[in-house]
Structure 1
Amino acid sequence: MSSDLVKLRKYVSVIEETHHDGGPVLDWPVMKAAVGGVIANPYAGRYVADIQPMMKALEPLAVDLTERVMKLLDAKGSELEAYGKGAIVGIAGELEHAALWHQPSGFGIRHAMGGAKSIVPSTVKVASAGTRIDIPLHHVTASYVRSHFDAVEFCVPDGPKPDEIVFIVAASIGGRPHARVGGLTPAEIKVGDGQR
């Protein structure tokens, strides 16, 4: 995956399979995965007023990362229950470079999944190589399903270099292993706009 604005160095993946979290063994394990793409930051080390052209260029990367997450989970898009996104900008960049990920990642994730309604939660930071980041997860249909409020911890040991950005997509099949704090359940979702 490469274009004038999106030059990929590597992919990094993480997957978790949880069979219990201190309670009874689950009938089906909770599966969580995240994939990050480490790319060169074309705006590193200088202030560029118009950075929006990169947003469209990032859409294929968002689709690619989502498809890689689905492959790790051995899942179709319709089987994903929660998702999230994030970015780590190397220290020669700025926080606004991470914000470039918001629109294309939402588009790419929904495109690869075949559609979803809920907001895709996000976290971003400017940091040095090896920094860990927690990618938040929310239910894909309704953002207020408490059982699916979770996170996936992610790290690239050698990235981002100062002139790089790591863009990340995460997803899960299942919510927290022993969710029992009430609230809206997936079976009770009635409004498909992701806001209930």
Structure 2
Amino acid sequence: MPDPQIRKTQVIVETIHHEFGPPPDAPVKRGASLAVIANPFAGRFEAELTPFMDDLKPLGLRMAQDLIDALGGDAGAITSYGKGAIVGTDGELEHGALWHVPGGYAMRELIAKSHAIVPSSKKVGVMGARLDVPISHADASYVRSHFDAMEVGIPDAPRPGEILLALVMTTGGRIHARMGGLAAEDVKGEDGLR
């Protein structure tokens, strides 16, 4: 397959300074890297999709690095992540699943402590559709303070023959998280869970 045809990219960063209660010692940054690409399978059924995952790997790495740079440039400061895709209406949900390996593994390659599975969401949607991308701790999925989501979308995407790809990262958990469970500072990092 040819390299992905990119129509546009976008990087969004929000800095969370306050969530009621006392201000945190340091703000938390949460960001998303988005790319809108042509869907090479739009309008038809294709039995073999997996070769396109390899074609998406360089894009995944570039998007992950762009997001790390936007969040301050220190991959060690990233504590949680997630990924997602919105497939235009001429495609199928499975086309969004192609993002699992190139999107997830790109972040795991660039973030030193990233043993945990990268949570994901995907859907077929019209232009302007929004997607809640789930977020969890990058090294231990059971860290409740980092269960979160970030809503992403681009007003003119995806067009029917496109896919909107998303990566999300944060520099911390929810401000004032107090639901118990495994604390980030107690993570052993042995199995991606605890």
Structure 2-normalised TM-score? 0.96
Cα deviation per residue 1:134-177 (whole Å; 9 max; x = unaligned)?
11110011001000001111011100000000111000001001
1:103 partner letter: V
Measure the CA separation in 1 of the matches of 2:84 and 2:13.
Answer: 16
Measure the CA separation in 2 of the matches of 1:104 and 1:73.
Answer: 20
1:125 partner letter: K
Alpha-carbon offset, residue 115 of structure 1 = 5.5
In the alignment, structure 1 segments of 5+ residues that lack a partner are: none
Q: Which residue of 1 aligns with 2:13?
A: 15
> 1:138-177 residue pairs with structure 2 within 5 A?
138-177=136-175
2:185 partner letter: A
Determine if contact 1:5/1:42 at 8 Å carries over to the other structure. Answer: no
Q: Which residue of 2 aligns with 1:104?
A: 102
In the alignment, structure 2 segments of 5+ residues that lack a partner are: none
Q: Which residue of 1 aligns with 2:64?
A: 66
Alpha-carbon offset, residue 191 of structure 1 = 4.0
Report sequence identity in percent. Answer: 45
Cα deviation per residue 1:91-133 (whole Å; 9 max; x = unaligned)?
0000000011111212211122246101100000000111111
**Runs (4+) off by over 4 Å:** none
Number of aligned residues:
194
Measure the CA separation in 2 of the matches of 1:193 and 1:16.
Answer: 30
Secondary structure of 1:63's aligned partner? helix
Q: Which residue of 1 aligns with 2:186?
A: 188
Measure the CA separation in 2 of the matches of 1:53 and 1:130.
Answer: 28
Measure the CA separation in 2 of the matches of 1:75 and 1:151.
Answer: 22
What RMSD, in angstroms, separates the aligned Cα atoms of the two structures?
Answer: 1.2
Match 1:55 to one of 44, 53, 67:
53
Cα deviation per residue 1:13-37 (whole Å; 9 max; x = unaligned)?
2211111111101110010000111
Measure the CA separation in 1 of the matches of 2:141 and 2:112.
Answer: 18
Q: Which residue of 2 aligns with 1:81?
A: 79
